């Protein structure tokens, strides 16, 4: 992921054409994270001088699912009974 004249672009390593071009960095980050998870690859974020400013491994990050409000209360009650 790196700056582009029209916003931000998401590139695959060694790719010449952008996978996606977005207006905002946030949108590009969402696309890049999704792509990196699907391909189990590293995500690099670069600045306009082509320097790496951040890197991550989104496919190694566990995604936590939020419990429904009622489920969290039930868990608390179960813990109190023990």
Spell out the domain ranges in the chain: 2-63
Neighbours of 30 (CB within 10 A): 14
Instruction: Render pLDDT for 37-77 as a digit per residue (tens, 0 to 9).
Output: 888 888 888 888 888 888 888 766 554 555 555 555 656 66
First to last CA, the chain: 50
Structure tokens at 28: 């590009």
Instruction: Render pLDDT for 1-22 as a digit per residue (tens, 0 to 9).
Output: 899 999 999 998 888 899 999 9
| CA angle 14–20–25, rounded 5-degree value | 105
| pLDDT reported for residue 79 | 60
| CA angle 56–61–65, rounded 5-degree value | 140
| pTM of the model as a whole | 0.62
């Amino acid at each position: 992921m790196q700056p582009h004249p029209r916003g931000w672009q998401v590139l695959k390593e060694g790719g010449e054409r952008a996978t996606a071009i977005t207006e905002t960095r946030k949108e590009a980050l969402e696309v890049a994270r999704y792509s990196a998870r699907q391909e189990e690859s590293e995500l690099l974020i670069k600045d306009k001088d082509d320097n790496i400013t951040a890197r991550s491994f989104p496919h190694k990050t566990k995604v936590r699912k939020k419990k429904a409000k009622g489920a969290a209360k039930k868990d608390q009650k179960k813990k109190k009974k023990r």
